[in-house]
């Protein structure tokens, strides 16, 4: 399909009918707010299946997918090795509520790729992983306060729902009703990349900070890279003040290389959280760290955390198959080459259209911010013209390119995207951006 073939909005009659029925039994017709497309307008998608780099909606329209289940599908949709592993395990049983050897195998693959993780605990979602890591930090330090960064999203646990990115940024929610003020007061927000601000909080709250939690590369206010020395400074401050550093790699874990982004960035947290890619599209996440720290978790220690579906054999099988594929030579180099080509093409397309915008990127992660100045924190991200982004999103979607339905999210390149896909995307973006500038 050429960039000009799909200028007419595709018909989505069946998708519309399904969504209208869903609105009667599901809150907003969805099970996660951003899927409702409220910030970008238009009709929400109803997806029937995925294959490689493509999604197919309920009306059979193909979509070149740069959402990739919000980063989980690094290998693309329905990867043969992953689907085979899931199917074979389903034939043996889907949940046992007791330990399987699969849990050992996936944990070994993770700790081999990230040697500073001596022990891990599997959970079912990124929210569970970050929530559990914070509980562990509080339990070990005997302190209550945590520091997080404006625009960083660490899931929807109460401790994280103030000045958070992702869906809250998309919907314009600064403070979430239902979170008790007394609990919200235990979380201190600092601008991302503001090391001096963190130092000021530590000086004011002596021996009260349990942990600092941070995305090593922010990807939930859109992609924002850490400034030189920022992460290393957090490491030094937390050590100096007896607090723990929690590195949230739910998005970045196994995204940029076969292992942790911390290795690339020259920092090492006390605790690391992971999700998305380690489950190959099946719900699984994990938190881990040194044996000394992790041994404080029940049953070895007093910090309690449990889950009926934790270590679920379907999820473990999908994760094992995924990480084995990612260990093969050349895969990350190919992904990075395509992503670099995409970013270069988008920058040229924006310049050619005379549109003021920023393209923040690292590896296979990128965001086009329709903002006049460089974006280095949440304040900068919020200066973006979300109305222009909404038009850009809809016009790209009408031409068969699926981007995140929010200005404040990342685009993901998968192992299935080809140079031809990238060329098509750039050509489509050139056409759309020129129409927006007209």
Dihedral angle over CA of 43, 49, 50, 51, nearest 10: -140
pLDDT at residue number 377: 96
Q: Do domains 13-65+330-437 and 80-326 have the same CATH topology?
A: no
Q: How far is CA 133 from CA 137, 217, 245, 270, 297, in A?
A: 6, 18, 10, 10, 10
At 121, is the secondary structure helix, strand, or coil?
Answer: strand
Q: Which CATH class is domain 13-65+330-437?
A: alpha beta
pLDDT at residue number 223: 97
pLDDT at residue number 172: 47
Alpha carbon distance 88, 81 (integer Å): 11
pLDDT at residue number 182: 78
At 236, is the secondary structure helix, strand, or coil?
Answer: helix
pLDDT at residue number 175: 61
pLDDT at residue number 1: 42
Buried b (16+ CB within 10 A) or exposed e, 284-300: bbbbbbeeebbeebeee
pLDDT at residue number 163: 54
Is the domain defined by 80-326 classed in CATH 3.40.640.10?
Answer: yes
pLDDT at residue number 31: 86
Sign of the Cα pseudo-torsion (34, 37, 38, 40, in order)? positive
Q: What is the pLDDT along the chain (438 residues), one digit of tens a residue?
A: 444 444 567 889 999 999 999 999 999 999 888 888 888 988 899 999 999 999 999 999 999 999 999 999 999 999 999 999 999 999 999 999 999 999 999 999 999 999 999 999 999 999 999 999 999 999 999 999 999 999 998 988 777 776 544 444 444 444 667 777 777 788 999 999 999 999 999 999 989 999 999 999 999 999 999 999 999 999 999 999 999 999 999 999 999 999 999 999 999 999 999 999 999 999 999 999 999 999 999 999 999 999 999 999 999 999 999 999 999 999 999 999 999 999 999 999 999 999 999 999 999 999 999 999 999 999 999 999 999 999 999 999 999 999 999 999 999 999 999 999 999 999 999 999 999 997
Residues catalogued as catalytic: 153, 248, 276
pLDDT at residue number 235: 98
DSSP string, 295-333: TTBTTTSSB----TTTT-HHHHHHHHHHHHHHTSTTHHH
What phi, psi does 164 have (nearest 5°)?
A: -90, 160
Alpha carbon distance 106, 215 (integer Å): 23
At 418, is the secondary structure helix, strand, or coil?
Answer: coil
pLDDT at residue number 438: 79
Alpha carbon distance 123, 119 (integer Å): 13
Q: Any idea where the domains of the chain sit in the sequence?
A: 13-65+330-437, 80-326
Predicted model pTM: 0.93
pLDDT at residue number 8: 63
- CA geometry: angle 204, 205, 211, nearest 5 deg: 130
Would you give the DSSP letter of residue 179?
S
């Amino acid at each position: 399909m050429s960039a000009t073939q799909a200028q007419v909005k595709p018909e989505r009659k069946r998708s519309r009918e399904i969504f209208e029925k869903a609105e009667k039994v599901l809150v907003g017709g969805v099970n996660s707010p951003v899927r409702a497309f409220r910030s970008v307008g238009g009709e929400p998608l109803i997806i029937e299946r995925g294959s490689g780099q493509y999604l197919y909606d309920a009306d059979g329209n193909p979509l070149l997918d740069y959402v990739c289940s919000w980063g989980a599908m690094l290998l693309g949709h329905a990867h043969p090795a992953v689907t085979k592993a899931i199917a074979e395990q389903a034939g043996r049983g889907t949940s046992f509520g007791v330990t399987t050897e699969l849990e050992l195998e996936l944990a070994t693959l993770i700790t081999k790729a990230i040697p500073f993780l001596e022990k891990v605990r599997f959970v079912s979602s990124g929210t569970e992983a970050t929530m559990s890591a914070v509980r562990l930090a509080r339990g070990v330090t005997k302190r209550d306060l945590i520091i997080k960064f404006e625009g960083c999203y660490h899931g929807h646990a109460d401790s994280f729902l103030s000045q958070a990115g992702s869906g809250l940024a998309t919907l314009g929610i600064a403070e979430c009703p239902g979170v008790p003020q007394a609990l919200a007061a235990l979380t201190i927000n600092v601008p991302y990349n503001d090391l001096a601000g963190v130092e000021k909080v530590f000086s004011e709250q002596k021996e009260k900070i349990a942990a600092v939690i941070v995305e090593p590369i922010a990807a939930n206010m859109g992609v924002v890279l850490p400034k030189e020395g920022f992460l290393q400074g957090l490491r030094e401050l937390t050590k100096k003040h007896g607090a723990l550093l929690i590195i949230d790699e739910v998005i970045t874990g196994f995204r940029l290389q076969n292992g942790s982004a911390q290795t690339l960035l020259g920092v090492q947290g006390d605790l690391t959280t992971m999700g998305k890619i380690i489950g190959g599209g099946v719900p699984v996440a994990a938190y881990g760290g040194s044996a000394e720290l992790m041994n404080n978790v029940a049953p070895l220690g007093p910090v309690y955390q449990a889950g009926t579906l934790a270590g679920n054999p379907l999820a473990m099988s999908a994760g094992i198959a995924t990480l084995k594929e990612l260990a093969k030579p050349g895969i990350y180099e190919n992904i990075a080459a395509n992503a670099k080509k995409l970013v270069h093409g988008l920058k040229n397309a924006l310049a050619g259209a005379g549109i003021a915008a920023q393209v923040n990127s690292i590896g296979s992660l990128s965001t086009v911010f329709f903002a006049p100045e460089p974006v280095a924190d949440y304040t900068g991200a919020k200066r973006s013209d979300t109305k222009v982004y909404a038009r850009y999103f809809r016009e790209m979607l009408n031409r068969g390119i699926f981007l995140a339905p929010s200005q404040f999210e990342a685009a993901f390149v998968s192992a299935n995207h080809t140079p031809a896909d990238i060329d098509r995307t750039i050509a489509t973006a050139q056409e759309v951006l020129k129409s927006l500038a007209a």
